[in-house]
Structure 1
Amino acid sequence: MTAVRTVLGDLPPAELGITDAHDHLFMRSAALPGQDLDDAEAAAAELRRFAALGGRTVVQWSPFGMGRRPAELVELSRATGVQVIAATGLHRAAHYPPGRPERWYPRLADLFVEELTTGLHTQDDPDSPLTGARAGLIKVAGDFHHLDAHTRTVMTAAAQAHHRTGAPVGVHLEHGSAAADVLELLCAGLGVPPSRVILGHLNRFPDLGAHRAAARAGAFLGFDGPSLANHETDWRLVDTLVSLAGDGHADQLLLGADTTSAAARGNPGLTWLLTRLRPRLVEELGEEFAGAMFVRNPARAFAVEWVAGS
């Protein structure tokens, strides 16, 4: 059955609606001390503002071991009416305490499959109890302009989990770099179809030639912001999207806020996507294009023909 897997269950892709394709409601990282995202009330308020503007779905890219708080994701989705797609997978090694990811390596593929098919672990521990909420995305990460040993280990496990379930693979590109390396490993090397790969943070590396190459390869291209991490390249975003659409890639483009609550880190919040960016895209390319980026493309990117038994 083709479905989008949310924390409240599977949905027909047509019910996804307007989607923030890349965000973080909860997150904890060893690389970002003092910047934990752990305010459920702020997240709920932001989701309600998003819903009031017509937003229907948020894709939460925080992977295993980074304070996802799956039980609260379920509560937030029920309370606000916003559908939440959760992620399994692992981030870059720098986001975990030293030595911790290595202890998980022997069981990574099974861990990812378990979270996609049975339920997310309640704690940042593969031996913790499972919730009933399942992941709908495998999140992995490249390193800056290269793929280190940790990345290759995690991507190999993610590819195995994809082949066992059909789940899409979302890729954090560090500062938007190494897209070609990622596609070479995941697709050419490990057999993941490019149409099942979502490249994130491309706006942080505004090389239109690299974007076109990734699009020609068949991947989904994720552009996210605004945020303090992206502000130096945000001004190029609309022109980049217009150029890629003009090249025939409008059906491969995804948008995310990647800002969590408006209060977090001084960012403008999810609503910027609909109050500021969407009107610009309508002005430049029309309602049809805006509808593709916010509704139809996410419905295809996150819809899965789930393998029997998953």
Structure 2
Amino acid sequence: MPQVNTALGAVDTARLGRTYVHEHLFTLTADVQANYPEEWGGEDERVADAVGKLRALAAQGIRTIVDPTVVGLGRHIPRVRRIAEQVPELNIIVATGLYTYDEVPGFFRYRGPGLNDVLGTEVADPMVEMFVRDITEGIAGTGVKAGMLKCAIDRQGPTDGVVRVLRAVAAAHRRTATPITVHTHPESRNGLDARRILCDEEGIDPRRIVLGHSGDSPDCDHLAELADAGFLLGMDRFGINLDISFETRADTLVEMCRRGYAERLVLSHDAACYIDWVDPAHLHLLPQWHYLHIGEEVLPYIRERGVSEEQITTMLVDNPRRLFEGADG
């Protein structure tokens, strides 16, 4: 039976059950948290809050979440493992990779390809070995192995830094067969850039790639183009209803299912137990942005509009399982 790494060890993919493929535990600005801890509060308080929220999610029938928090988003695996040990009924799959919309962090600027012109020779990218080690040996001495690769491309497009990360993620995928999730900006249609770099140039099977945040776009023709290319589309920001309404997000999902694309869709909220990118005083503007929103509001809405239980199971159970198994879908 195929297995996937989780925060508590490898599990059979048959045990993944209902899965949200893009949920953070914590999204943090590491330097700010290290230097201004009052912005964070107490560690025990934050952990207890996360445990309560995840237990409520598990009680709703969700059995697995993928946490795509990587370098650039405040990843801290000892904390994730501490929480996972208190919510063993929920599988937590952690990720490796790097999150940037433009340049690579200073650490990498003069390591690897950044030295090619200086030394006059090809220098291996240390990102690749870092990502592979996270997957095969574990992260930061915790023994927790990553089960997902993460990269990003946003409105800035395929900058040199973004392309470097995408190529490093592709190299790590080729060595480990670990699936990939890509933060995208659908308004810029840069899922097509991800296709060119990761698939056309790097040779990655699009069926092993989730194009995150695809549900930010109501352009079903464009989404169908990406689905027809073989990608899984992340309808994964339910509850973030600022630039796009709840109804528009949900109606786009309904229309994609009506067109026969349920086998190419996965669901999530892109929520977190705590995110320091948003002032807590402003969270009232996003009252539906929490882990329970899909179960409480989205699924009833789409059922009423013709999405079948079979299609819901396909999106929540079958598609994530096939992604981790590498099976045709």
TM-score by length of 1: 0.86
Q: Report SS of the residue matched to 2:21.
A: strand
Q: Is the contact between residue 281 and residue 289 of structure 1 (CA under 8 Å) also seen in structure 2?
A: no
Q: 1:68 to 1:251 in 2, by over 3 A?
A: same
Aligned to 1:3: 3
Which of 74, 82, 93 is equivalent to 1:85? 93
Q: Is the contact between residue 77 and residue 139 of structure 2 (CA under 8 Å) also seen in structure 1?
A: yes
Give the partner amino acid of 2:5.
R
Q: Is the contact between residue 238 and residue 270 of structure 2 (CA under 8 Å) also seen in structure 1?
A: yes
Q: Which digits, 9 at most, give the CA deviation of each residue in 1:231-285, with x for residues without a partner? A: 5243212221222223222111001111113898525310112111122233321
Which of 123, 130, 144 is equivalent to 1:111? 130
Q: Which runs of 5+ in 1 are unaligned?
A: 122-129, 306-310
Residue 104 (structure 1) shift: 5.8
Q: Which runs of 5+ in 2 are unaligned?
A: 113-124
Q: Is the contact between residue 206 and residue 233 of structure 1 (CA under 8 Å) also seen in structure 2?
A: no
Give the partner amino acid of 1:3.
Q
Which of 111, 125, 147 is equivalent to 2:158? 147
Structure 2 matches for 1:121-140, cutoff 5 A? 121=140, 130-140=141-151
Aligned to 1:278: 299
* CA RMSD in angstroms, aligned pairs only: 2.7
Task: Quote the sequence identity (%).
Answer: 31
Q: Is the contact between residue 22 and residue 58 of structure 1 (CA under 8 Å) also seen in structure 2?
A: yes
Q: Is 1:181 paired with 2:193?
A: yes
Q: Report SS of the residue matched to 1:58.
A: strand
Which of 210, 219, 234 is equivalent to 1:222? 234
Give the partner amino acid of 1:285.
V
Q: In 2, distance between residues paired with 1:205 and 1:101?
A: 33
Q: Which digits, 9 at most, give the CA deviation of each residue in 1:190-226, with x for residues without a partner? A: 0110101100011223222221111010000001223
Q: In 1, distance between residues paired with 2:232 and 2:242?
A: 19
Q: In 2, distance between residues paired with 1:100 and 1:262?
A: 27
Aligned to 1:156: 167
Q: Is the contact between residue 198 and residue 220 of structure 1 (CA under 8 Å) also seen in structure 2?
A: yes
Count of aligned pairs: 296
Q: In 2, distance between residues paired with 1:7 and 1:102?
A: 31
TM-score by length of 2: 0.81
Residue 89 (structure 1) shift: 0.4
Residue 22 (structure 1) shift: 0.5
Q: Which structure is larger by alpha-carbon Rg, 1 or 2? A: 2
Residue 86 (structure 1) shift: 0.4
Residue 76 (structure 1) shift: 1.4
Give the partner amino acid of 1:90.
L
Q: 1:222 to 1:84 in 2, by over 3 A?
A: same
Give the partner amino acid of 2:201.
G
Q: 1:281 to 1:227 in 2, by over 3 A?
A: closer
Q: In 1, distance between residues paired with 2:29 and 2:110?
A: 17
